[in-house]
Amino acid sequence: MPNEPQVGLLPLHHRKLIFWTLVCLFLGVLPLAILYTSGYRFVESDDGQRVLATTGGAYIAVQNPAVELYVNGVIPQDRRPFSSAFYVQGYDEGVYNFHTQGEGLETWVKNIAIYPQIVTQAASFNLPKVPQVRVITPWQTSAGEAVVMVRSTTTRPFSFASTSNAIIATTSRATTTLAVSDEYTLFATRFASTSAEWAAVKAGKLQVVEPEERFQFVPVPRIATTTLVLATSTKEWNNTKLYEDNGEVYARWIGGEKDIPYYYCLTFESPATTSYKYGEHVYAALAAQYASSSDARMAGFAGERLCRSDIRIDRKWQEVIWFDFLPNRSDLVLMLLEDGLYVVEIDDRSWQNVQLLYPGTDLVVLLDAGRVMVKDGEYILEVFTDLIQ
């Protein structure tokens, strides 16, 4: 007899038993899996009975993976965190309060309507509570440190912000031991050109040439040979157009109907229900577009998917000085208002989140290769949308 153990084949009847057991298990689990992925859940009814009901979910994209998601003030137990999103499921039809927050970050909040067997989408953003900047000064040390000339060394420059580079504060005005910052000189020229163009806009020196494309302008002579934006120009990126009309800024989808972003559209139910789930401003825009603001006519659209052509961007009741897309985001708008530079989401379901990126008055802004550059007084800053590590 061999010393090593021998492994033989299972008897045929054993193999048949295992095979048919697995087949029956698969056929039994498959319907349950289909029901589960379709949003069906066993829930407790009002009379205490367990019944099968349809539920929905939400997919919330996040800008910062360090944030946490809350639904009605509670962290969902069945949430599925990804590197750039959260997925939650098993919610009955209704309106839920979603918010994302993280240490040192602003809080994003939105009421979102959940529907059976549908995953509702949204995209959050959380800017730093304290402005994150890199300071560019006219003068720097031989080691490349930015030099800020102050009246007293007891006052820390840019104390309201977190700086990514070393800053030397000095009361001396002597520059013999300092080096001129080439980067500052370059951006100073560009900002001078931008300021001149903005002044021309305010003075009414630009002429409207295309009525159908509101606020398109004939270019004026430039101080520097750079392509810069005006507060009242039309901006287009990723099939979304930003334009100004009578002091308001609007976003318009100019791509294909099948690719329109989710926040432009909704399944219309009734005037009252739409106002409750999405906000009165959303219903008013739909009614004006589809039925000349008639509630009776709008009732005829019940059950249909309706899409708005334009969404107004919240300007906090301030004058819009400049606007553009936040770099690499076609759903977020940079807006320079009277008291600072803000980021506003286009998605206006329930409301639009508005977060301050950099405070100040008389600021000038330009975008440079995906960077947000701000001129604040005599200093030039690169402003970051994430916390400085």
58-105 per-position pLDDT tens digit: 999 998 888 999 999 999 987 877 778 999 988 989 999 999 999 999
Residue with tokens 């689990």: 29
CA angle (300, 303, 306) in 5-degree steps: 85
Residues of the chain falling short of pLDDT 70: 1-3, 5-8, 30-55, 200-232
Which CATH architecture group holds 55-123?
Answer: Sandwich (2.60)
**What pLDDT, on a 0 to 100 scale, did the predictor assign at position 203?**
64
Q: Spell out the domain ranges in the chain.
A: 12-44, 55-123, 132-139+181-251+312-384, 257-309
pLDDT in tens, 32-51: 555 555 555 555 545 555 54
- Measured CA to CA in angstroms, residue 206 lies from 78, 202, 241, 321 at distances of 56, 9, 21, 15
- Token readout for 130 is 């304290």
**What pLDDT, on a 0 to 100 scale, did the predictor assign at position 242?**
97
**What pLDDT, on a 0 to 100 scale, did the predictor assign at position 83?**
77
Q: What is the pTM (predicted TM-score) of this model? A: 0.80
**What pLDDT, on a 0 to 100 scale, did the predictor assign at position 34?**
59
**What pLDDT, on a 0 to 100 scale, did the predictor assign at position 202?**
64
- Phi, psi (deg, nearest 5) at residue 271: -55, -45
